[in-house]
Structure 1
Amino acid sequence: MFMEERKAKILEILESKNRVKVNELTEKLNVSESTIRRDLQDLEQEGLLKRTHGGAVKAENTGFEPTMAEKEEVYQEEKREIGKKAGELIQDNETIILDAGTTTLQIAKNIKAKNVTVLTNSMLIALELSKNKDVEVVVTGGYTRRETLSLVGPLTDQMLQRFKADKAFIGTNGITLQDGCTTPNMHEAHTKGIMIQSAKEVYIVADHSKFGKVCFSLIAKLDQIDAIITDKNIDRGIVEKFVQHGVEIICE
Structure 2
Amino acid sequence: MNRQARLDEIIALLKNNASLRVSDLAAGLNVSKETLRRDLQYLQLKGLLVREYGKARRLEDASKAPEMAFDSRSKSHAQRKTALADTAIGWITPGMCIALDASSTCWHLAKRLADQDLTVYTNSYRICAELEKKTHIRVLCSGGTLDRKFASYINDSPLHMVRHLDIDLFIFSCDGIDAGGNIWDTDNGNALFKKFMLKKSLQSILLVDSSKIERSSEVIIGNVATVTAVIRR
The normalised TM-score by structure 2 is 0.68
* Among 143, 154, 169, the residue aligned to 2:145: 143
Do the aligned partners of 1:156 and 1:191 also contact (CA within 8 Å) in 2? no
Q: Residue 97 of structure 1 contacts residue 169 of structure 1 at CA under 8 Å; is this kept in 2?
A: yes
The 5 Å alignment of 1:9-48 reads none
Q: What is the CA-CA distance between 1:64 and the residue it aligns to?
A: 2.0
Q: Which residue of 1 aligns with 2:117?
A: 115
AA aligned to 1:164 is D
Offset, 1:157? 2.4
Which residue of structure 1 aligns with residue 203 of structure 2? 201
Once the two structures are TM-superposed, the CA of residue 146 in structure 1 deviates from its matched residue by 1.5
Shift of 1:230: 2.0
Q: Report how far residue 197 of structure 1 moved.
A: 1.2
Query: Residue type of the partner of 1:136?
Result: R
- Contact kept? 2:115, 2:134, Cα under 8 Å: no
Does residue 211 of structure 1 match 2:190? Answer: no
CA distance in 1 between partners of 2:99 and 2:149 (Å): 20
- The residue number in structure 2 matching 1:158 is 160
Q: How far 1:209 moved relative to its partner? A: 0.9
Number of aligned pairs?
A: 175
- Kindly tell me: are residues 133 and 158 of structure 1, through their superposed partners in 2, closer, same or farther at Cα, counting changes over 3 Å? same
Give the root-mean-square deviation of aligned CA atoms.
2.4
Consecutive aligned runs of 4 or more in structure 1 exceeding 6 Å deviation:
none
The verdict on how the C-alpha distance between 1:148 and 1:67 changes in structure 2, with shifts beyond 3 A counting, is same
Secondary structure at the residue paired with 1:228?
Answer: strand
3-state DSSP of counterpart to 2:189: helix
Aligned to 1:133: 135
1:168 aligns with 2:170: yes
> Which residue is 1:64 aligned to?
55
**Whole-angstrom CA distance in 1 between matches of 2:115 and 2:205:** 18
- Give per-residue Cα distances to partners, 1:38-69, cap 9 Å, x unaligned: xxxxxxxxx99xxxxxxxxxxxx993289212
Which string of whole-angstrom CA distances, capped at 9 and with x for unpartnered residues, describes residues 186-222 of structure 1? 4221111001111100011121111111011111112
Q: Does the 8 A contact of 2:120 with 2:140 survive in 1?
A: yes
CA contact (8 A) 1:91 1:113 kept: no
Structure 1 residue aligned with 2:87:
85
Distance 2:199 2:124 in 1: 18
* AA aligned opposite 1:183: D
Q: Partners in 1 of 2:183 and 2:148 — Cα distance?
A: 22
**Identity percentage over the alignment?**
22
| Partner SS for 2:215 | coil
1:146-181: per-residue Cα shift (whole Å, max 9, x none)? Answer: 211111112232234342211000110101241511
Question: Structure 2: how far apart are the matches of 1:156 and 1:182?
Answer: 23
For 1:225, the equivalent position in structure 2 comes to 227
List alignment gaps of at least 5 residues for structure 2: 1-15, 18-26, 29-51, 57-67
Residue 71 of structure 1: how far off its partner (Å): 0.8
SS in structure 1 opposite 2:112? coil
Q: Residue 168 of structure 2 aligns to a residue in which SS? A: strand
Question: What SS class does the counterpart of residue 135 from structure 2 fall into?
Answer: coil
Any stretches of 5+ residues in structure 1 without a counterpart? 1-16, 19-46, 49-60, 232-252
Q: 1:74 to 1:114 in 2, by over 3 A?
A: same
Q: Conserved in 2, the CA contact under 8 Å of 1:109 and 1:128? A: yes
1:181 corresponds in structure 2 to: 183
- Could you tell me which of 192, 196, 213 is aligned with 2:194? 192
| Distance across 2 between alignment mates of 1:123 and 1:62 | 18
Q: Is the 8 A contact 2:100 2:121 kept in 1?
A: yes
